A and B are shown apart, each in its own frame.
Chain A
Amino acid sequence: MVLSVESPTAAPGAPTPDDERLPRVAVLLLCHESPAQVAVTLRSPFFASADLKVYIHYDARRSEAEREALAALVPPEVQHAFIAERVACAWGDYTLVEATHRMLKAAIGDESFDPDYLLLSSASCVPIRPLSSLQEFLRRRDGIDFIQAVDVSRRSWVKGGLEKERYEFRFPFNFRTQRWAFESFTALQRRLGRRRQPPGGLRIHFGSQWFCLTRATAGSVAARLAEPALREFFAASWIPDEFAIQSLVMAAQRPERVAGHNLTYYEFDDQGRPLVLENGHFEHLLRQPFFFARKLSAHATRLADQIHEHVASPELDWSYFAHVGSPSGHYAKYLARALTVNISRSRVATQPEAWHGVMGLNERPYVLLYAASRRLAAAVARQMRRHDASLPAFDFVFDPLRLVPAQEAAAWRGIQCGMRARRDHDAAGFAHELIHLDPLHRTVMCVDPATPSWLRDFALWDEHATLVCCDPRGLGKLQRAEAALRDISAMEEAALFEQTVRAAGVPGWLPQDHFDQAQRESKHRCRILAVDAIAPGEADPTLQAVREAWQAVDARAYFAASEADARLRLFGDTSE
């Protein structure tokens, strides 16, 4: 329970000399997303204040029409200004620094607003505290610059790959589009031993690009970025947004007045993937002593609503001020704690869902494909990948005998065939990882209804799961049994093979009817639907993609033409 008050900063009886004034904040917003996505961020009550003005740099890769659409979507209560001369931003090059520089100049030169602090954020960052809390914090730390800045001559900041080379070498080629030239030219420079020195003996500091700077420091940085020598130096570097402004801040400010951290919460896992915030993360987020967080899943609408609600009312408890900049604990620890809680409860037999593990915390929806024919389900997943390579559509990643992320590749979206041990060690953790893999799209996985697996048993009782049956309508029992037997190895899965054959010959359910039986007997909490029940105008883009992929696959081809044909193939006769 957190109670709010009308105005925690208004203290009757307190004097109000000039230094009682709360600082004005200029938010420099780097935007690359669609107008609608940027507008969602700007709808936060955080931005609706006379003490705040947003300076928007909208990526020049977005059209003028989109910029105009965004301008129309910015809430009228948000003070804002668009940067007129836009830069086409590309990861790794100087354009991100250039865009930031333009926003800095615009905010500093804006006499109508006169900010005290300038804060760099992006449309992927969401304010998680009320503006009044940020203002009070900045007032209590007046004169301090908030930016991560690590002197790379003393310790390393980059976990792997190039570090000093990023500014010592020249990088005329694009890392993504000209990879071979990029690597070759870097190797050549290393062989030749030609290394550049920063102009004027500038000491290079690395850090995250997000910052909150005092006006004085921001002014100094903006002026220095205009110096031709520095500009040329940074422009020829690689990923200068991780050291250009950081180095200039450290050159302009005394070290004890640089906090060494920024005000934005983010987490990366061991593989360098960012934590994507989902619906279940609200409490975790509020424990973080930061004012912004990135990144919010596009599906996390409830989380967004909760954050907006929290931001709308003034906070009373500012005890987190004492810890700003230090995450309350690694996300992995958070997950580990959640697991421990469940396990300890299971010991006293009060928590029958202990085996749910971290999936007990999951609130993100996901889709499972199943069919009597495993190959059919896999074909639908493959078709989805073919249609849109960005879709996280997996094959049978929970098959007890093997882990197949995608038929056509040994690895897909970072999931490898060799991850079986990891999966079997912590199936719930592995499922959680898969389901949170993509911030924009729901994860799709194939599951075999006939084979007991952690995913099969969990999903049936998980309200966040949608099970889509890919079998065409009108199939007989023998057609399904015959199709299933085509994919079952009589050697490795002898028991299932026998069960299927036996079930095909007698009345009752097939092992492949596991989900249909559960549906018939109402023994499930997940949503189960037939693929052809997905409407053409289905609002859910993932289900829409499943439907389109299924339509592109000749599902009938995976089954015998008729029950009689199936009987012939199964038993060698056509008699009833």
Chain B
Amino acid sequence: MTMPARRLAILSARRSGADAVLRLLGPAMGGPTVGAQPFHWDNAWGEVSREFHQGSPERARGLLDEALGAGALFRHCYDAESWDFNQMLLDALANAGYGLLVVERAPSVEHLFSIIVAGANDCSDAAAVARLRERLQAGEEIAIPPAQQWRQRVAQQWQTHRWFERAAGACAARLLVCRYERLFLRGVAGLAAVDEMFAFAGLGPREAAIDDASLLRFLWAGQHYTAGLAAWSPALLALRRGIEGELARLQAQQPAPVEAADAGA
């Protein structure tokens, strides 16, 4: 007998592997889904965001409540939206009985470098990163944003991460925080992390949906190694070092955030 799946929203920063989590849970949950980034203006629930930013926040909330009513699974990048919008979303999710699955990736040089370089060169999958690597190895230049722009991005990511940690912790909705590192970078510990997700989503035993060997292959296939591009370009290496310095400066200015509850830790 299969257990009924619960309503679930996957929340994360960009480039945190949450798309993989969506692909993993989507088929197992079996219910409706609107995929990744539904609030992008071209996507299924884009009208909510458009209304929030260009019209009336109240009407946006009404549209959101209506959208969430069907209980569709989705993945949302909180760092692609404003804090106000995210706060509205958290409230609405709690109200609609959603569980929040947060894939947490702490700001790190690797993460920020990946966001900045992948964003500037419009590459989001492993194959695109590989093509970028080949171009660099062939001596070609790739786009690198100006210093002011990437510094601003680093600061934004840092602040947004800290804000979201507090906001998600204070949200009334059920919450499971899964650390990116544990899921993707700690070997077989990723199996237990996925088991917890399945339990949180109200699904049956994970092994019934995907066996260990397939799951391990899946978890390890998503590594893009974007940060490694810096090995092939002095300019990218300088960017990487710049991000490292900027992050250290931000860290020194503010105490490290209190770790959000990690049910799997």
CB-contact partner of B189 in A3, A13, A19, A316, under 8 A: A19
Stretch at the interface among B26-34, B54-62, B225-233: B225-233
Query: Judging by beta carbons under 8 Å apart, are A140 and B227 in contact?
Result: no
Query: Judging by beta carbons under 8 Å apart, are B186 and A12 in contact?
Result: no
Residue A199 lies at the interface, judged by CB distance under 8 Å to chain B: no
CB contacts (< 8 Å) of A12 on chain B: these are: 108-109, 244, 247-248, 251
Interface bin, chain A: 20 to 34
Query: Judging by beta carbons under 8 Å apart, are B225 and A14 in contact?
Result: no
Chief secondary structure at chain A's binding surface: loop
Quick one: CB contact mask for A2-16 with B, threshold 8 Å, 1 for yes? Answer: 111100100111110
Query: Judging by beta carbons under 8 Å apart, are A5 and B240 in contact?
Result: yes
CB contacts (< 8 Å) of B232 on chain A: these are: 1-3, 317
Query: Judging by beta carbons under 8 Å apart, are B237 and A256 in contact?
Result: no
CB contacts (< 8 Å) of A139 on chain B: these are: 185-187
Nearest opposing residue in chain B for A319, CB measure = B225
CB contacts (< 8 Å) of B109 on chain A: these are: 11-13
Residue B42 lies at the interface, judged by CB distance under 8 Å to chain A: no
Task: Determine how close the nearest CB of chain A comes to the CB of B25; give it in whole angstroms.
Answer: 21
CB-contact partner of B265 in A17, A140, A143, under 8 A: A17
CB contacts (< 8 Å) of B187 on chain A: these are: 139-144
The CA of A255 and the CA of B212, in the complex, are separated in Å by: 10
Task: Determine how close the nearest CB of chain A comes to the CB of B75; give it in whole angstroms.
Answer: 23
The CA of A319 and the CA of B231, in the complex, are separated in Å by: 11
The CA of A284 and the CA of B230, in the complex, are separated in Å by: 21
Query: Judging by beta carbons under 8 Å apart, are B110 and A256 in contact?
Result: no
CB-contact partner of B228 in A15, A19, A20, A318, under 8 A: A318
CB contacts (< 8 Å) of B181 on chain A: these are: 19-20
CB contacts (< 8 Å) of A8 on chain B: these are: 227
- The residue among A3, A17, A142, A254 with the most chain B CB atoms within 10 A of its own CB is A3
Quick one: CB contact mask for B195-209 with A, threshold 8 Å, 1 for yes? Answer: 000000000000000
The CA of A4 and the CA of B227, in the complex, are separated in Å by: 12
Query: Judging by beta carbons under 8 Å apart, are A15 and B106 in contact?
Result: yes
Task: Determine how close the nearest CB of chain A comes to the CB of B120; give it in whole angstroms.
Answer: 19
Tell me which residues from 132 to 152 in chain A have a Cβ below 8 Å from any Cβ of chain B.
139-144
Tell me which residues from 1 to 47 in chain A have a Cβ below 8 Å from any Cβ of chain B.
1-5, 8, 11-15, 17, 19-20
Task: Determine how close the nearest CB of chain B comes to the CB of A261; give it in whole angstroms.
Answer: 14
Known: A140-B185, A143-B187. A11 touches B225 (CB 8 A): no
Task: Determine how close the nearest CB of chain A comes to the CB of B115; give it in whole angstroms.
Answer: 13
Query: Judging by beta carbons under 8 Å apart, are A316 and B231 in contact?
Result: yes
Residue A185 lies at the interface, judged by CB distance under 8 Å to chain B: no
The CA of A256 and the CA of B216, in the complex, are separated in Å by: 8
CB contacts (< 8 Å) of A11 on chain B: these are: 108-110, 244, 247
The CA of A4 and the CA of B228, in the complex, are separated in Å by: 10
CB contacts (< 8 Å) of B234 on chain A: these are: 3
Nearest opposing residue in chain A for B104, CB measure = A15
Quick one: CB contact mask for B247-264 with A, threshold 8 Å, 1 for yes? Answer: 110110000100100000
The CA of A499 and the CA of B221, in the complex, are separated in Å by: 69
Residue B166 lies at the interface, judged by CB distance under 8 Å to chain A: no
Known: A12-B247, A141-B187. A255 touches B225 (CB 8 A): no
Query: Judging by beta carbons under 8 Å apart, are B186 and A142 in contact?
Result: yes
Quick one: CB contact mask for B125-167 with A, threshold 8 Å, 1 for yes? Answer: 0100010010000000000000000000000001000000000
Nearest opposing residue in chain A for B139, CB measure = A1
Residue A84 lies at the interface, judged by CB distance under 8 Å to chain B: no
Nearest opposing residue in chain B for A19, CB measure = B186
Query: Judging by beta carbons under 8 Å apart, are B212 and A5 in contact?
Result: no
Residue A412 lies at the interface, judged by CB distance under 8 Å to chain B: no
Residue B188 lies at the interface, judged by CB distance under 8 Å to chain A: yes
Residue A315 lies at the interface, judged by CB distance under 8 Å to chain B: yes
CB contacts (< 8 Å) of A143 on chain B: these are: 187-189
The CA of A408 and the CA of B3, in the complex, are separated in Å by: 81
Residue A321 lies at the interface, judged by CB distance under 8 Å to chain B: yes
Residue B35 lies at the interface, judged by CB distance under 8 Å to chain A: no
Residue B223 lies at the interface, judged by CB distance under 8 Å to chain A: yes
CB contacts (< 8 Å) of A19 on chain B: these are: 181-182, 186, 189
Query: Judging by beta carbons under 8 Å apart, are B230 and A5 in contact?
Result: yes
- The residue among A255, A257, A319 with the most chain B CB atoms within 10 A of its own CB is A319
Report the tally of A-B residue pairs with Cβ distances under 8 A: 102
Nearest opposing residue in chain A for B232, CB measure = A1
Quick one: CB contact mask for B91-112 with A, threshold 8 Å, 1 for yes? Answer: 0000000000000001111100
CB-contact partner of A255 in B126, B189, B213, B221, under 8 A: B213
Residue B53 lies at the interface, judged by CB distance under 8 Å to chain A: no
Residue A533 lies at the interface, judged by CB distance under 8 Å to chain B: no
CB contacts (< 8 Å) of B213 on chain A: these are: 255-256
Nearest opposing residue in chain A for B248, CB measure = A12
Query: Judging by beta carbons under 8 Å apart, are A316 and B259 in contact?
Result: no
The CA of A300 and the CA of B220, in the complex, are separated in Å by: 36
Residue A192 lies at the interface, judged by CB distance under 8 Å to chain B: no
The CA of A144 and the CA of B213, in the complex, are separated in Å by: 11
Tell me which residues from 253 to 302 in chain A have a Cβ below 8 Å from any Cβ of chain B.
254-257
Residue B23 lies at the interface, judged by CB distance under 8 Å to chain A: no
Quick one: CB contact mask for A227-239 with B, threshold 8 Å, 1 for yes? Answer: 0000000000000
CB contacts (< 8 Å) of A1 on chain B: these are: 232
CB contacts (< 8 Å) of A539 on chain B: these are: none
The CA of A344 and the CA of B84, in the complex, are separated in Å by: 62
Query: Judging by beta carbons under 8 Å apart, are B229 and A317 in contact?
Result: yes
- The residue among A12, A13, A14, A256 with the most chain B CB atoms within 10 A of its own CB is A13
Query: Judging by beta carbons under 8 Å apart, are B237 and A5 in contact?
Result: yes
Residue A322 lies at the interface, judged by CB distance under 8 Å to chain B: yes
The CA of A15 and the CA of B181, in the complex, are separated in Å by: 10
Query: Judging by beta carbons under 8 Å apart, are A315 and B185 in contact?
Result: no
The CA of A157 and the CA of B23, in the complex, are separated in Å by: 37
Query: Judging by beta carbons under 8 Å apart, are A13 and B186 in contact?
Result: no
CB-contact partner of B227 in A17, A257, A316, under 8 A: A316
The CA of A16 and the CA of B240, in the complex, are separated in Å by: 20
CB-contact partner of A14 in B108, B130, B189, under 8 A: B108
Query: Judging by beta carbons under 8 Å apart, are B229 and A256 in contact?
Result: no
CB contacts (< 8 Å) of A4 on chain B: these are: 231
CB contacts (< 8 Å) of B216 on chain A: these are: 256
CB contacts (< 8 Å) of A316 on chain B: these are: 227-228, 230-231, 237, 240
CB contacts (< 8 Å) of B108 on chain A: these are: 11-14
The CA of A143 and the CA of B193, in the complex, are separated in Å by: 14
The CA of A316 and the CA of B185, in the complex, are separated in Å by: 16
With A12-B244, A316-B240 known, 14 other A-B pairs at CB within 8 A are A3-B237, A5-B230, A5-B241, A11-B110, A12-B247, A15-B106, A19-B182, A19-B189, A20-B181, A256-B211, A317-B228, A317-B231, A319-B225, A322-B221
Listed in ascending order, the chain A residues whose CB lies under 8 Å from chain B are: 1-5, 8, 11-15, 17, 19-20, 139-144, 254-257, 315-319, 321-322
* A-B pairs with lowest CB-CB distance, top 9: A142-B187, A317-B228, A143-B188, A256-B213, A317-B231, A316-B231, A319-B225, A11-B108, A12-B248
| Contact sample, A vs B, 22 pairs, CB 8 Å cutoff | A1-B232, A3-B232, A11-B109, A13-B108, A13-B251, A14-B106, A19-B181, A19-B186, A140-B184, A140-B220, A257-B188, A257-B212, A316-B227, A316-B230, A316-B237, A317-B133, A317-B230, A319-B133, A321-B223, A321-B225, A322-B126, A322-B225
